[in-house]
């Protein structure tokens, strides 16, 4: 599916394997390659994880060859997304054939909620299917969450922790008949720096370069800017974002997604001397490609105007450089308000760590379940 869906799935697989569960990851060749290194280390540490690759029906669905992940789509228009979801669910026949031969027979499927066919497969081949949700629970979304895969599944696994939004978790449990498990943040299972860095797409720099630059900055002084693997930001908006970061005069780590439009922003960076300007002043570090998974925490700054998926190009520049600078200044403010915000972020981070430590709410679901 997408990076933000696949990475937690791999982490959940490792956590379950540490409990002695035999794990089979069913994916496609392109996606398997993205996790080859981290899974190889898991297997070397005697975790029982095997990976089986199925052929993704690109051409049958009108997609370019090798387009096996949403971030590889040639454009972000709605028809292309629909073609991709159609192709993903065409894997059902291959999965059914695989399950007829798989030994030992699977007892449970943990599936993305965008793959509703897995619920039907589970009815024939195993006892349970669990739908994985990576979304934050919002009260307004609760009535809308029960999609096709959700309704047919035995339960829902959420990459969050109960202490973050206890009231909403409780309400969702009522909707789901109690079959809701908050097991995250699963990224915290990665203690080794390589396990954190070598997941998903490769970035244009080595992880040690990124960490070396971060170590040269004052603690708590760097702004981390990453819009994810699906956000289709027009080059004009990225330019405005870059100028705003530059004018803020704050150290920043900016991840620029590599896609069909990235050449335009790279051309702007070179022709205007942007990278040289920030390098000379020591206030910026650019990464071309998907975000390294070394960094997993941050504070979000948003805008009120909603944007429909695939409508980014029509809207154009939504946030001006002055607004970016203002947001960064507010975020990094050294006054009482800024300090309170950072303390709250640190508090939530500590809550997340406690949830996955021995005795924590997420830990108990993995290690105390029958």
Give SS3 for 27: strand
Report CA-CA distances (Å) from 251 to 132, 276, 318, 327.
36, 14, 23, 14
For residue 218, the tally of other CB atoms under 10 A from its CB is 7
Active site residues: 5, 112
| Whether the Cβ atoms of residue 24 and residue 52 lie closer than 8 Å to each other | yes
Report CA-CA distances (Å) from 78 to 48, 81, 349.
39, 5, 36
For tokens 């702004």, the residue is 223
Backbone angles phi, psi at 88, to 5 degrees: -60, -40
Helices 36-44 & 3-17 angle (0-180, nearest 10): 0
Backbone angles phi, psi at 52, to 5 degrees: -120, 130
Backbone angles phi, psi at 224, to 5 degrees: -100, 120
């Amino acid at each position: 599916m997408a990076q933000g869906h696949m990475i937690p799935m791999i982490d959940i697989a490792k956590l379950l394997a540490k409990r002695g569960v035999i794990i089979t990851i069913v994916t496609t060749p392109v996606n398997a390659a993205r996790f080859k290194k981290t899974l190889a280390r898991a297997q070397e540490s005697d975790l029982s994880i095997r990976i089986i690759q199925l052929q993704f029906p690109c051409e049958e669905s009108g997609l370019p060859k090798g387009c096996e992940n949403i971030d590889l789509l040639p454009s972000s228009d709605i028809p292309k997304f629909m073609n991709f979801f159609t192709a993903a669910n065409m894997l059902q026949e291959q999965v059914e054939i695989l399950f007829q031969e798989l030994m030992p027979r699977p007892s449970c499927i943990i599936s993305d909620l965008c793959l509703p066919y897995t619920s039907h497969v589970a009815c024939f081949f195993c006892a349970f299917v669990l739908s994985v949700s990576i979304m934050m629970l919002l009260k307004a979304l609760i009535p809308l969450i029960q999609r096709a895969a959700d309704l047919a599944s035995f339960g829902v696994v959420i990459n969050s922790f109960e202490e973050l939004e206890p009231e909403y978790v409780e309400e969702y449990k009522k909707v789901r008949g109690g079959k809701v498990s908050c097991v995250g943040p699963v990224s915290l299972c990665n203690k080794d720096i390589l396990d954190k860095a070598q997941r998903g797409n490769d970035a244009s720099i080595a992880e040690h370069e990124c960490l070396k630059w971060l170590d040269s900055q004052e603690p708590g002084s760097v702004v981390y800017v990453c819009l994810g693997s699906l956000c289709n930001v027009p080059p004009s908006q990225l330019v405005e974002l870059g100028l705003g970061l530059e004018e803020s005069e704050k150290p920043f780590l900016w991840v620029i997604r590599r896609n069909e439009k990235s050449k335009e922003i790279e051309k702007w960076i070179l022709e205007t001397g942007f990278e040289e300007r920030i390098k000379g002043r020591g206030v910026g570090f650019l990464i071309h490609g998907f975000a390294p998974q070394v960094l997993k925490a941050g504070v979000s700054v948003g805008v009120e105007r909603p944007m429909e998926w695939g409508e980014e190009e029509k809207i154009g520049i939504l946030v001006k450089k002055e607004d970016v600078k203002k947001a960064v200044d507010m975020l990094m403010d050294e006054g009482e308000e800024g300090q309170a915000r950072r303390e709250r972020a640190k508090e939530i981070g500590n809550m997340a760590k406690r949830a996955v430590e021995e005795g924590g709410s997420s830990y108990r679901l993995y290690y105390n379940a029958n």
